[in-house]
């Protein structure tokens, strides 16, 4: 299990970085509780297509969001190299299905940039910022609040 | 040496408040939740002082006083009555029953201790 | 008084219990031939609240409790007759006291208007003025002006001083602590031994205190003995030195102390013996304080419950592993596993018993609700409670308060007829609302029934049509019409605000009950009244489930709703129109529901040649045959919330964890059946009412 802290010793933010369809994304490490290998999930009836189902996390029922599907890259077929990033956000535990985690990276405020005003890309609404690196790499910061279906989206 | 006080009150809150104040002043405190229990505790607690509420189920404060005063071995133990009323009526009743004195609720901790000290001659 | 918060909390918990016994006692007092002790208990409850409130400086509460207590005292000493009129005021006082306690707990401003009105009424009842609570000044003569030099105190105890446990020595001690003191004993009145009587007092003391001491301070020292001794206080002046008056009788202080100290409880020697066994004494004291119960933080019980849930899952996993490695035929292993399973069951039952509490806790609050509703609607009514000892999970108790409150109000407001109508119908003017509870086949059944006019179905249909809830002219059975009451938007805010002021409809009641895993139904007979029945699970933690296979998923069906399982002969199966299928079973035609399609697990209905039909009956007596691929097992499952981290899923009540660690969803047969049954116009609304 990773430690939950947003600032590292150098006063920078730490992020978990991962790849999706050849693009780099990241999440504030403070929101991440642990990273697990993929295990088959139980299907949730009537769920949006980006909900892979629910898994058992030490006795708690946790929904797994397929990030690829959620960000508009199409549904992924989970394999051994997929991981589930367990996050805790606003009291809700959510698993994020992602390709192998690539890195833990540090960045300071100077490296953060707002998202350019792009046309209506499905991914746009889930990305709250860009983190740039000297080597030209760009990380897209994901906003967890937007990922889960809102109550209206869950059909009742 | 430790001075032992038996406090009898049916209200857990009052019991706890009295116990806290007395223990804070270094007394050893025994508690009972009504008169019958209080009298039952008498031999074990062997108190130097008894503090009792008046209105209690089973056996009220005056009943406690009467039982203590006629108990033989503990008949001389000072008994303070915890009461919400302050008046001649109560004093007369308490005195008739054989109470040593009274403490009017609400009380500050140090008021309680002052009365206890006075009655015990500390 | 600076009192720590935990004492405050303790006080409010105690108040809760006292208010309960107060309210109970008042009700008992209305029964003929009640026990006199009841009045005493009621009085004590009000008195204890007053005493505690004073300790926490809750002025309004003290004032009101005192006045209430005075009235109760008049009743208990037969100075006030507890007739219906008086008892009505007493009940309202009890309610007001509860409100004041509530306000104090929330640190809100007390409702002084309500309080003042009641205080006036109490005054009218008892017809007495507000005397009797004054502070009586001490009777000591404190007239001498305060001298700068000191005071001379003459003190002669009378027998009562000794008999009341007071001690001259203690009093002298107290005086000596006020300043430099000279104590003189006058033993001149002590008779010769042959004339001596044991219970007469002959000793007198003179204490000369120097320093600036107010006579009031001296009065405090003698507070308890002023009526059982002679006391004289005079200023110390050069010409009235006591030493000059009674030189012969002075005895030095140290001797006096040495003589008297044998009876001093603070003396070391006096307690040498009893002090040898402090251990058991202390233990006894603790036991006396704690009594037979302990208060436990609910979180701890919940954690225990969760761990037992995990234990049940682990046990299931273990037995699966044992199966896999082929050890299940080994008798020792099987016996061991059985033992664990049995223990887990017992622990689970025990913890559930800890959490179980009698419904009394919520039922009793309903008396007040009924009283208030009865007053607000001017319909005389009484509440009868039955089976209030029935126990349910504590969580459920708390969450039942709101729905029951609303149902009681609803019964008075909409169920009972007004007085005139009742008399015309030959009913007693006073309406009766009955609140009952009982355990019934693994569930708790709670009923709220009234002896009112029953549901006016014509009117209900009218309202539903006017609010666009049903299409005009829709064919509905009486039961279906009754169900309309539960639709959101059926009751308008204006209608209910008259008594509840909350704008809550029966749809909310239904949703709250469903959130508890329960069901609510109406049974109504025109002219005779209506009954709302609530069926609740015993616990929110586990249920006995049937594990079924559906496509590649394992799901759980609560066993309580399962009537039977069928593998029907082809001849028993009939199609109705394009989509409908029914199975004929002992003369009944039961609609078939393909669960796989309902849950979107398959697009095409499965062939009825395969699989099993499970006949379920809902609380509204609807039956359906659920078509599943197979039945896997039957076992107890631990209920896990799906909503906590995800949300509600239609047709699913919760989730559980299976032996292999995977999640299985628990099916809500009621919702499934309702969503598939009958009238298309009604269904979507009923479903949305559940969400």
pLDDT tens figures, C517-543: 788 888 999 889 999 999 887 766 677
**What's the sign of the alpha-carbon dihedral C20, C21, C26, C27?**
positive
Question: Under 8 Å CB-to-CB from C46, ≥6 apart: which residues?
Answer: C18, C22, C65, C68, C69, C72, C97
pLDDT tens figures, C306-338: 787 778 777 877 888 888 888 878 888 888 888
Q: Do C14 and B79 touch (CB under 8 A)?
A: no
Instruction: Report the gap between the CA of C70 and the closest CA in chain A (Å).
Output: 51
Candidates B56, B106, B122; nearest CB to C55? B106
pLDDT of residue A2: 36
Pairing between β-strand C519-525 and β-strand C612-617 as defined by DSSP bridges: unpaired
Q: Do C649 and A44 touch (CB under 8 A)?
A: yes
- Angle in degrees, CA C359, C360, C365, rounded to 5: 110
- pLDDT level of residue C396 (50, 70, 90 thresholds): confident
pLDDT at residue B116 above 50? yes
- Helix, strand or coil, per DSSP, at residue A37: strand
- State how far the Cα of B47 lies from the Cα of B66, in Å rounded to an integer: 16
- pLDDT level of residue C105 (50, 70, 90 thresholds): confident
pLDDT at residue C303 above 70? yes
- pLDDT level of residue C384 (50, 70, 90 thresholds): very high
pLDDT at residue C272 above 70? no
pLDDT: is C102 or A22 the higher one? C102
Q: What are the backbone angles phi and psi of residue C75, rounded to the nearest 5°?
A: -65, -45
Asked if residues B121 and C167 have their Cβ atoms less than 8 Å apart, the reply is yes
C265 and chain B: CB distance < 8 Å anywhere? yes
C7 and chain B: CB distance < 8 Å anywhere? yes
Q: What are the backbone angles phi and psi of residue C521, rounded to the nearest 5°?
A: -135, 160
- State how far the Cα of A15 lies from the Cα of A19, in Å rounded to an integer: 13
pLDDT of residue C343: 86
C57 and chain B: CB distance < 8 Å anywhere? yes
- Provide the number of CB pairs (under 8 Å) joining chain B to chain C: 150
C79 and chain B: CB distance < 8 Å anywhere? no
- State how far the Cα of C123 lies from the Cα of C118, in Å rounded to an integer: 8
Averaged pLDDT score across all residues of chain B = 85
Asked if residues C392 and C536 have their Cβ atoms less than 8 Å apart, the reply is yes
- Helix, strand or coil, per DSSP, at residue C622: coil
Question: Distance of CA C89 to CAs C127, C371, C393, Å?
Answer: 14, 12, 35
pLDDT at residue C140 above 50? no
Question: Under 8 Å CB-to-CB from B105, ≥6 apart: which residues?
Answer: B14, B82, B83, B84, C51, C54, C55
pLDDT: is C252 or A13 the higher one? A13
Listed by number, the residues of chain C in 545-574 with a beta carbon closer than 8 Å to a beta carbon of chain A are: 553
Averaged pLDDT score across all residues of chain C = 78
pLDDT at residue B21 above 80? yes
Q: Do A156 and C663 touch (CB under 8 A)?
A: no
pLDDT tens figures, C180-205: 888 888 877 777 777 777 777 888 88
C47 and chain B: CB distance < 8 Å anywhere? yes
The stretch C460-466 carries a mean pLDDT of 86
Residues of A in contact with C665 (CB under 8 A): 42, 44-45
Residue A62 tokens read as 């946790």
Q: Do A42 and C553 touch (CB under 8 A)?
A: yes
- State whether CATH 2.40.50.180 applies to domain A13-147: yes
**For an interface test with B, which of C217, C224, C264, C273 has the most B Cβ atoms less than 10 Å from its Cβ?**
C224
A64 and chain C: CB distance < 8 Å anywhere? no
Residues of C in contact with A40 (CB under 8 A): 662
Q: Do C271 and B1 touch (CB under 8 A)?
A: yes
C279 and chain B: CB distance < 8 Å anywhere? no
Instruction: Report the gap between the CA of B99 and the closest CA in chain C (Å).
Output: 5
pLDDT of residue C448: 95
pLDDT: is C45 or C639 the higher one? C45
- State how far the Cα of C369 lies from the Cα of C356, in Å rounded to an integer: 24
Residue C209 tokens read as 């205190």
| Chain B residue with the nearest C-alpha to that of C46 | B55
pLDDT at residue B45 above 50? yes
pLDDT of residue C487: 80
Could you give the percent of chain C with pLDDT greater than 90?
Answer: 13
Q: Tell me, yes or no, whether chains A and C touch by having 3 or more C-beta pairs under 8 A.
A: yes
Candidates A61, A93, A155; nearest CB to C655? A61
Residue C97 tokens read as 């006291």
Instruction: Report the gap between the CA of B51 and the closest CA in chain C (Å).
Output: 12
pLDDT tens figures, C543-594: 778 999 998 899 999 887 888 998 888 888 888 887 788 898 888 889 999 9
pLDDT of residue C649: 87
Asked if residues C657 and C664 have their Cβ atoms less than 8 Å apart, the reply is yes
* Full residue range of the structural domain in which residue B54 is found: 4-120
C171 and chain B: CB distance < 8 Å anywhere? yes
pLDDT at residue C142 above 70? no
- pLDDT level of residue C460 (50, 70, 90 thresholds): confident
Q: Do C14 and B13 touch (CB under 8 A)?
A: yes
Smallest CA-to-CA distance from C520 within C408, C403, C673, C414 is with C403
C671 and chain A: CB distance < 8 Å anywhere? no
Residues of A in contact with C645 (CB under 8 A): 60-63, 92-94
Candidates C173, C281, C284; nearest CB to B121? C173
pLDDT of residue A154: 43
- State how far the Cα of C224 lies from the Cα of C477, in Å rounded to an integer: 80
The stretch C397-401 carries a mean pLDDT of 88
> CB pairs under 8 A, 24+ apart, for C416-423?
C416/C377, C416/C379, C416/C381, C416/C450, C416/C451, C416/C452, C416/C453, C417/C379, C417/C452, C417/C453, C418/C377, C418/C378, C418/C379, C419/C378, C419/C379, C419/C380, C421/C453
pLDDT of residue A51: 92
Q: Highest mean pLDDT range out of C40-44, C159-163, C341-345, C394-398? A: C40-44
pLDDT: is A21 or A141 the higher one? A141
Residues of A in contact with C647 (CB under 8 A): 149, 151, 154
A54 and chain C: CB distance < 8 Å anywhere? yes
**For an interface test with B, which of C285, C286, C292, C295 has the most B Cβ atoms less than 10 Å from its Cβ?**
C285
List the strands of the sheet with C204-210, edge to edge: C181-186, C204-210, C150-157, C229-235
pLDDT: is C445 or A103 the higher one? C445
pLDDT of residue C345: 76
pLDDT tens figures, C63-74: 898 889 888 888
pLDDT at residue A138 above 60? yes
pTM: 0.49
The domain total for chain B is 1
Asked if residues C306 and A61 have their Cβ atoms less than 8 Å apart, the reply is no
A150 and chain C: CB distance < 8 Å anywhere? no
Q: Do C136 and B49 touch (CB under 8 A)?
A: no
Candidates C1, C3, C14; nearest CB to B12? C14
- State how far the Cα of C469 lies from the Cα of C474, in Å rounded to an integer: 11
Asked if residues C60 and C99 have their Cβ atoms less than 8 Å apart, the reply is no
Q: What are the backbone angles phi and psi of residue A61, rounded to the nearest 5°?
A: -90, 120
Q: What is the ipTM score, two decimals?
A: 0.83
pLDDT of residue A155: 42
pLDDT at residue C437 above 50? yes
Smallest CA-to-CA distance from C185 within C167, C164, C169 is with C169
pLDDT of residue C474: 80
Residue C82 tokens read as 């507890």
pLDDT at residue C141 above 70? no
Averaged pLDDT score across all residues of chain A = 81
Residue C133 tokens read as 């609570």
pLDDT at residue C615 above 90? yes
Radius of gyration for chain C, computed over Cα atoms and rounded to the nearest angstrom? 38
Asked if residues C672 and C626 have their Cβ atoms less than 8 Å apart, the reply is yes
Residue B46: which CATH number? Answer: 3.40.50.2300
pLDDT of residue C550: 92
Q: Tell me, yes or no, whether chains B and A touch by having 3 or more C-beta pairs under 8 A.
A: no
| Chain A residue with the nearest C-alpha to that of C599 | A45
pLDDT tens figures, C237-248: 654 444 434 433
Candidates C224, C267, C288; nearest CB to B101? C224
Residue C182 tokens read as 């000279």
Instruction: Report the gap between the CA of C168 and the closest CA in chain B (Å).
Output: 9
Candidates C14, C167, C263; nearest CB to B11? C14
Q: Do C663 and A56 touch (CB under 8 A)?
A: yes
Residue C322 tokens read as 């044992």
Smallest CA-to-CA distance from C485 within C457, C449, C512, C519 is with C457
Range name among A105-119, C145-159, C455-469 with the lowest pLDDT average: C145-159
Pairing between β-strand C612-617 and β-strand C562-566 as defined by DSSP bridges: antiparallel
Against chain B, the chains showing at least 3 CB pairs within 8 Å are: C
The stretch C453-475 carries a mean pLDDT of 85
- State how far the Cα of C121 lies from the Cα of C134, in Å rounded to an integer: 21
pLDDT: is C234 or C133 the higher one? C234
The stretch C95-111 carries a mean pLDDT of 87
Question: Distance of CA A49 to CAs A76, C125, C550, Å?
Answer: 11, 71, 20
Residues of A in contact with C657 (CB under 8 A): 56, 59
The angle that helices B12-24 and B109-120 make with each other, rounded to 10 degrees, is 70
Q: Encode C39-87 in three state secondary structure.
A: HHHHHHHHHHHHHHHHHCCCHHHHHHHHHHHHHHHHHHCCCCCCCHHHH
| Domains delineated in chain C | 5-126 (1.20.120.160), 150-262 (3.30.70), 298-356 (1.10.287), 359-537 (3.30.565.10), 542-677 (2.40.50.180)
Residues of C in contact with A59 (CB under 8 A): 306, 309-310, 313, 640, 657
The stretch C139-144 carries a mean pLDDT of 44
Q: Encode C333-396 in three state secondary structure.
A: HHHHHHHHHHHHHHHHHHHHHHHEEECHHHHHHHHHHHHHHHHHHCCCEEEEEECCCCEEEHHH
Residues of C in contact with B26 (CB under 8 A): none
| Chain A residue with the nearest C-alpha to that of C602 | A45
Q: Do B121 and C169 touch (CB under 8 A)?
A: yes
Listed by number, the residues of chain C in 298-317 with a beta carbon closer than 8 Å to a beta carbon of chain A are: 306, 309-310, 313
- pLDDT level of residue C435 (50, 70, 90 thresholds): very high
pLDDT of residue C292: 58
Which parts of C593-682 fold into alpha helices (H)?
Answer: 595-598, 669-676
Against chain A, the chains showing at least 3 CB pairs within 8 Å are: C
pLDDT at residue C619 above 70? no
Residues of B in contact with C268 (CB under 8 A): 1
């Amino acid at each position: 299990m990773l430690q939950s802290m947003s600032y590292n010793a150098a006063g920078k933010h730490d992020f978990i970085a991962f790849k999706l369809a050849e693009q780099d994304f990241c999440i504030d490490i403070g929101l991440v509780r642990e990273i697990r290998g993929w295990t088959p999930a139980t299907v949730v009836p009537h769920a949006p297509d980006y909900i892979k189902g629910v898994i058992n996390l030490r006795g708690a029922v946790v929904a797994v969001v397929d990030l690829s599907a959620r960000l508009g890259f199409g549904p992924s077929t989970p394999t051994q190299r997929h991981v589930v990033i367990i996050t805790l956000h606003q009291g809700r535990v959510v698993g994020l299905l992602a390709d192998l985690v690539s890195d833990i990276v540090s960045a300071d405020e100077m490296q953060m940039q707002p998202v350019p005003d792009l046309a209506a890309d499905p991914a746009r609404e889930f990305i709250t910022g860009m983190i740039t690196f000297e080597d030209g790499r760009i990380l897209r910061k994901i906003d967890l609040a937007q990922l889960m279906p809102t109550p209206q989206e869950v059909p009742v | 040496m430790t001075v032992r006080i038996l406090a009898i009150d049916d209200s857990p809150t009052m019991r706890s408040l009295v116990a806290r104040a007395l223990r804070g002043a270094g007394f050893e405190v025994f508690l009972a939740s009504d008169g019958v229990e209080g009298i039952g505790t008498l031999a074990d607690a062997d108190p130097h002082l008894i503090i009792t509420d008046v209105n209690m189920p089973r056996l009220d404060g005056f009943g406690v006083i009467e039982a203590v005063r006629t108990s033989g071995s503990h008949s001389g133990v000072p008994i303070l009555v915890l009461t919400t009323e302050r008046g001649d009526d109560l004093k007369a009743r308490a005195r008739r029953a054989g109470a040593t004195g009274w403490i009017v609720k609400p009380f500050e901790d140090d008021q309680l201790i002052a009365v206890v000290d006075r009655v015990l001659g500390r | 008084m600076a009192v720590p918060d935990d004492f405050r909390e303790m006080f409010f918990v105690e108040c809760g219990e006292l208010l309960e016994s107060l309210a109970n006692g008042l009700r008992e007092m209305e029964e003929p031939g009640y026990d006199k002790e009841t009045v005493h208990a009621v009085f004590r409850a009000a008195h204890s609240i007053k005493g505690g409130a004073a300790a926490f400086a809750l002025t309004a509460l003290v004032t009101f409790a005192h006045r209430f207590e005075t009235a109760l005292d008049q009743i208990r000493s037969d100075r006030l007759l507890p007739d219906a009129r008086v008892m009505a005021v007493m009940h309202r006082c009890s309610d007001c006291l509860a409100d004041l306690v509530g306000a104090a707990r929330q640190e809100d401003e007390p409702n002084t208007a309500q309080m003042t009105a009641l205080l006036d009424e109490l005054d009218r009842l008892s017809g007495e003025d507000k005397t009797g609570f004054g502070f009586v000044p001490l009777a000591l003569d404190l007239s001498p002006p305060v001298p700068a030099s000191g005071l001379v105190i003459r003190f002669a105890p009378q027998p009562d001083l000794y008999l009341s446990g007071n001690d001259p020595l203690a009093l002298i001690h107290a005086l000596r602590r006020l300043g430099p003191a000279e104590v003189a004993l006058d033993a001149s009145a002590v008779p010769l031994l042959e004339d001596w009587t044991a219970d007469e007092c002959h000793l007198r003391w003179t204490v000369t205190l120097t320093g600036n001491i107010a006579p009031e301070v001296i009065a405090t020292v003698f507070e308890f003995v002023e009526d059982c001794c002679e006391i004289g206080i005079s200023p110390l002046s050069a010409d009235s030195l006591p030493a000059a008056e009674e030189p012969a009788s002075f005895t030095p202080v140290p001797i006096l102390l040495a003589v008297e100290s044998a009876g001093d409880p603070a003396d070391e020697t006096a307690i040498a013996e009893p002090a040898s066994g402090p251990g058991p004494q202390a233990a006894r004291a603790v036991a006396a304080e704690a009594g037979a119960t302990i208060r436990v933080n609910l979180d701890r019980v919940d954690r225990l419950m969760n761990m037992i849930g995990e234990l049940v899952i682990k046990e299931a996993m273990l037995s699966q592993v044992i199966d896999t490695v082929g050890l299940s035929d080994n008798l020792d292993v099987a016996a061991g596993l059985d033992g664990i399973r049995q223990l887990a069951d017992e622990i689970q039952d025990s913890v559930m018993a800890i959490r179980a509490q009698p419904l009394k806790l919520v039922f009793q609050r309903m008396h007040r609700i009924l009283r208030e509703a009865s007053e607000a609607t001017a319909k005389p009514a009484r509440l009868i409670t039955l089976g209030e000892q029935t126990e349910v999970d504590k969580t459920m108790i708390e969450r039942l308060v709101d729905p029951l409150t609303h149902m009681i109000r609803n019964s008075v407001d909409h169920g009972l007829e007004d007085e005139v109508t009742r008399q015309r119908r030959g009913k007693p003017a006073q309406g009766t609302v009955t609140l009952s509870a009982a355990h019934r086949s693994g569930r708790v059944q709670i009923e709220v029934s009234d002896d009112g006019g029953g549901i006016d179905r014509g009117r209900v249909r009218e309202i539903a049509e006017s609010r666009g809830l049903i299409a005009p002219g829709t064919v509905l059975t009486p039961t279906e019409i009754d169900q309309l009451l539960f639709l959101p938007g059926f009751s308008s805010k204006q209608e209910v605000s008259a008594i509840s002021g909350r704008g809550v409809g029966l749809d909310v009641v239904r949703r709250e009950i469903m959130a508890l895993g329960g069901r609510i139904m109406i049974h109504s007979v025109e002219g005779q009244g209506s009954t709302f029945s609530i069926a609740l699970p015993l616990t929110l933690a586990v249920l006995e489930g049937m594990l079924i296979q559906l496509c590649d998923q394992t799901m759980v069906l609560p066993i309580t709703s399962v009537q039977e399982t069928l593998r029907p002969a082809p001849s028993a199966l009939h199609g109705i129109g394009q989509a409908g299928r029914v199975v004929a079973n002992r003369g009944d035609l039961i609609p078939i529901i393909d669960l796989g399609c309902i849950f979107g697990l398959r697009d095409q209905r499965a062939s009825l040649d395969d699989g099993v039909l499970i006949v379920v009956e809902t609380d509204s007596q609807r039956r359906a045959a659920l078509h599943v691929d197979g039945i896997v097992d039957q076992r107890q499952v631990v209920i896990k919330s799906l909503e906590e981290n995800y949300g509600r899923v239609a047709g699913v009540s919760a989730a559980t964890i299976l032996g292999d660690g995977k999640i299985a969803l628990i099916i809500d047969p009621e919702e499934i059946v309702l969503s598939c049954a009958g009238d298309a116009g009604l269904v979507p609304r009923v479903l949305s009412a559940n969400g």
